[in-house]
Amino acid sequence: MPPPVLIVGQGIAGSALGWACEQAGIDFEIADAGHGPAASRVGAGILNPVTGRRLAPTWGFDAWIGQSVALYRAMEAAVGRPLIRPMRIYRRFRDAAERAALSARWGPGEVAPAHVGPRDADGFWIEDVWQVDTAAVLAELRARWLRSGRLRIGAASVAAEAARRDVIILCGGAEVADAFDFVPWERAAGEILSGMTTGLDPGVILHRGHWVLPLGADRARVGATYEVSAGEARPTPAGRAELAQTARELLAPDGFTVTGHEAGVRLGTKDRRPCIGRHPTTPRLGLLGGLGSKGALWAPALARQWVNHLTEAVRFDREVDVGRFFRPCCADEAR
């Protein structure tokens, strides 16, 4: 008999879930069609506690950052290669209006938002940031599970597998949308440039609208664009120009030489929360997806919830359970 649990997809969601299953002694198999289109290969893996112009707290950060760091640290120990590192973000004010608005929040009697550090005339610091090398996580676990015979390369068909498994958990990134079509999915394409530069502090991400992420050995990435779109993601001339402009602003005018340009799709939901759980009408079908722009942060804690569910029948948190979107007699209205 094949293993009772089949994980479909080995992006960061399937990797975190497979890892958590392995640690818990759950017998599983994982199938992956190839990392070419995986958002996890393209994404930057930044775990940022505050985002946006209003410095809103990142949903799930304070509750889950400990689990995320612990999981990536445990993987590091097992594979013998760095996978996660602590960082700081220096966020430059975009313009005078942003400087005035944000400076007011540090005024007399005001407390800076949590995780926000000192400011100066040009910008301010965001602390407690991490960066996960998601491409390395994928590559290392792929090699590990190929060696152990757990990973099968190729597309899995849910219809063909359903009769042979207790549960099939979809971790297929943007590909999961059709199987859970009652969820109000939102797709956002994103582009990133890779290139060469000099003089960056390896522990500091520069940010002004977009970010510059130092990778060491004079390599860096600049990203990411965000374009709500139903179509596939492709590198575009407009995306390249937008990111090259950021590189000119944050580095010297000709301080960044482009060596690569990639695009991926983030599959998120209208309520900006991830989705896990069983399909309401086909409970043998499970999901860990809808990770939007936060896959590297959210995947470890969601994987832990799946393991607790499989081993002790623990219910999923209501705020992330995919069932929150399901309306039995009028599924269309949930959209």
Tell me: does residue 287 bind ligand FAD (CB under 6 A): no
Helices (H), 194-326: 237-250, 295-312
Helices (H), 184-289: 237-250
**Are the C-beta atoms of 13 and 288 separated by less than 8 Å?**
yes
Stretch that binds ligand FAD, among 31-39, 81-89, 302-310, 316-324 (CB under 6 A): 31-39
Tell me: does residue 289 bind ligand FAD (CB under 6 A): yes
CB hemisphere CA count around 214 (13 angstroms): 21
Tell me: does residue 14 bind ligand FAD (CB under 6 A): yes
Tell me: does residue 13 bind ligand FAD (CB under 6 A): yes
Tell me: does residue 35 bind ligand FAD (CB under 6 A): yes
Among all chains, which residue has been given the structure tokens 């497979």? 18
Tokens of 71: 């999981």
For residue 21, give every residue at least 6 positions away whose Cβ sits within 8 Å of its Cβ, in sequence order, or none.
5, 7, 28, 303, 306, 307, 310
Give the CA distances from residue 152 to residues 30, 147, 159, in Å, rounded to whole numbers and listed in that order.
6, 11, 17
Tell me: does residue 32 bind ligand FAD (CB under 6 A): yes
Residue span 147-186 as binding mask against ligand FAD, x where in contact by CB under 6 A, dash where not = --------xx--------------xxx-x-----------
Task: Select from 24, 26, 33, 78 the one that contacts ligand FAD (CB under 6 A).
Answer: 33
CB of 120 to ligand FAD, least distance (A): 25
Residues near ligand FAD (CB under 6 A) are: 8-14, 31-35, 37-40, 42-46, 155-156, 171-173, 175, 190, 192, 223-224, 264, 266, 289, 291-297
